[in-house]
Structure 1
């Protein structure tokens, strides 16, 4: 229920048990939309996520001249490539995949494409991808800010070629150029120079999806990706469930000693959320996967952990919430890049957990969490869906916790409030 302050997080009355089916992966959905938009024919996408981030991606591509239509049942989306052209206006909202993946495609359009987004989106650094596109021959006007708003002035083609960038802030900088690179005249020879690129599974996802569509990608040399020029084959695609969005539901079993099954968990996947199997095992839970899905059983004890989350940073808020109920301190490492996500997630987690009586400290690259009894209060989400997920997990065991702006979960899982209430209740 909602109050004038926020959404009252459901309190668990005992071990949480149940079965959950989560919608399609946002990461796969938006990559599939991008690739289908510049493919050599129409593609049919089933199980595509219907959420704010995918709606923004669809609108962006349609504004560029791509045809996108839903089947009568809504189960399948057909993407028909068109002649990319401006003028066009792209609303990125707060979606990293839109603000990073669409500009390299817009560069292929004939005309001017303007990009803007939510107020906080204007604070997110874009200079790396904009600078790389300039190196590849694209005309961009960002008034020297390296941030939105900016315009991409396309001529219908992109020279491409070799470019070096520092992608230590986000793997999306690399994925963005890989996804469109095959359509550039010389392809893309992309080299990373800097600290390790975070979220390696998301890079693996981009490469795998390109290869499925017949694109030649050579990633045999560390920190280098070479995409050969050529067509992107149209491919009908079934979108996997979003494993990252499964995190709070499985976490509910861990901290309450319950048992939760997420149906349809793939046997093989490039989604970073698959690492939840190991992460929750290290917290002390029992984890098993069958043809039915993934089941997590809490054992009544939550152990403190020391985790390198550099590949799965998006899971950090929910993992931090689980760690708040452990029997000892936890250390979450390798996530300095979260300071440039939907919000500064490290600062936000420290602030909100400590406001409830917690003991959380930022480090250079992560968080130290020392469990303490928590009290109720209003938990700020900072327009960040993962912060809302973390708050919901805390609320299972904390009386009187309210979540500010639960509607922010519509970014990737509009059904979250109903699914959560059904499970917790």
Structure 2
């Protein structure tokens, strides 16, 4: 009997491609957009809809957390979405019914950065105590930027001085808000967390980043765009404001009918499959304008040997049969690093991935994990202060450990396309953002997969 791929200790034989892939892959909705949309809808002054939301561990944790604080979220099936997906254009929809936020409540953040960072500011607006707890790894992830900022803005928070989980927010139903300075160099989510709730603070919020280089700026732009779409007034460096300063004016938020874009970062392994096998993959619904960092895959993977065409239907990506190394700064798109590293390990020239030192504090220490796992398959990867150097070497099979990190699992699957006998430990960790990954992966390969 085959091993159960959903068991945490199970080894999943990564399918080995026997030829060039040729597939259309419907990528589920964006986690980053879904969780921001849930927060904004919960804080709105009227009900709203989220159509084609991602249903994954991270988004269900967010929805359950908001429910625990009194928000109504009704899950249904709608036929009014215009985004291609089901055969009749229908898809899942969530109706969000804002209500008076209240405690006491306990929130399980799992290991979701968006939940652990976006919801403490929301909890300050609740009447009562909101306790936050999560997976053991969540205790190690930085949260001090949000905690210290909320205290400076008038919140009462008990964290026993850790600057991390577990913690309790003593909500009073309101927060003064105003100006605050933070060091968000370890996570741009610190800035997004304060901006998302800022319209509901009495004085709004002015967030000033005072640390080193700020990673993942596209995610802050996503937050700003989504705030503006629900009626918030936001001043940013890009709109003529001060560098590293974001201001949100207090005011009511509108309920919206929002269709969630496909998760472009989760499209990465499928585009990589076209690159690695010299094949073709089409991702329907790829937006022509987006703030998702994953859109940069078009540039990165083209430089590594592929070509792409963005049509009205979606993105068509084609591999050339050769993979080239790359020297690239991934500071704004750090979540793409594991997939880029996996492709780089199969390239014909060396690669340097820069600007991603902050990945040491993600779901796992991604730089150390990638170095260890690729090298144990015969690779030659060296950590630098802010990234990785990768020298291609002939790889061999073996166990690719994931450290409960979804992007480590998909990186291993990419390598497995070109290297026989790679086994992925705990591929079920992909449920964090893409629950159907094993089925989507084998479906993409069709008869060409082992």
Same fold (TM over 0.5): yes
Residues 131-158 of structure 1 show CA distances to partners (whole Å, capped at 9, x for unaligned) of 0000000000000111111100011000
Residue in structure 2 matching 1:19, options 20, 24, 31: 24
SS in 2 for 1:75: strand
**How much does 1:70 deviate?**
1.2
Residue in structure 2 matching 1:40, options 38, 45, 50: 45
C-alpha RMSD of matched pairs (Å): 1.0
Which structure 1 residue ranges, 4+ long, deviate > 4 Å from structure 2?
A: none
Residues 185-220 of structure 1 show CA distances to partners (whole Å, capped at 9, x for unaligned) of 010011000112111110000000001111010112
Partner in structure 2 of residue 51 of structure 1: 56
Partner in structure 2 of residue 200 of structure 1: 217
Name the TM-score, length of structure 1 as normaliser. Answer: 0.99
Residue in structure 1 matching 2:326, options 305, 309, 314: 305
Aligned residues of 1:134 and 1:140 also touching (Cα < 8 A)? yes
Partner in structure 2 of residue 132 of structure 1: 149
Residues 162-205 of structure 1 show CA distances to partners (whole Å, capped at 9, x for unaligned) of 10000011110000000000100010011000112111110000
Partner in structure 1 of residue 34 of structure 2: 29
Partner in structure 2 of residue 99 of structure 1: 116
Whole-angstrom distance in 2 between the partners of 1:373 and 1:104: 49
Whole-angstrom distance in 2 between the partners of 1:14 and 1:314: 28
- Of stretches 380-389 and 70-79 in structure 1, the one that deviates more from structure 2 is 70-79
Residue in structure 2 matching 1:233, options 254, 265, 271: 254
**How much does 1:221 deviate?**
1.7
Residue in structure 1 matching 2:308, options 278, 287, 293: 287
SS in 1 for 2:120: helix
- In the alignment, is residue 371 of structure 1 matched against residue 376 of structure 2? no
Residue in structure 1 matching 2:195, options 165, 170, 178: 178
**How much does 1:236 deviate?**
1.1
Partner in structure 2 of residue 278 of structure 1: 299
SS in 1 for 2:298: helix
Whole-angstrom distance in 2 between the partners of 1:227 and 1:66: 23
**How much does 1:5 deviate?**
5.0
Partner in structure 2 of residue 346 of structure 1: 367
Runs of at least 5 residues in structure 1 that lack an aligned partner in the other structure? none
Residue in structure 2 matching 1:262, options 278, 283, 293: 283
Partner in structure 2 of residue 77 of structure 1: 94
Partner in structure 2 of residue 323 of structure 1: 344
Whole-angstrom distance in 2 between the partners of 1:13 and 1:170: 40
Partner in structure 1 of residue 128 of structure 2: 111
Whole-angstrom distance in 2 between the partners of 1:286 and 1:85: 51
Aligned residues of 1:5 and 1:378 also touching (Cα < 8 A)? no
- In the alignment, is residue 250 of structure 1 matched against residue 271 of structure 2? yes
Partner in structure 1 of residue 182 of structure 2: 165
**How much does 1:81 deviate?**
0.5
- Of stretches 358-367 and 71-80 in structure 1, the one that deviates more from structure 2 is 71-80
Partner in structure 1 of residue 86 of structure 2: none
Whole-angstrom distance in 2 between the partners of 1:387 and 1:262: 22
Partner in structure 2 of residue 394 of structure 1: 415
**How much does 1:2 deviate?**
3.4
Name the TM-score, length of structure 2 as normaliser. Answer: 0.93
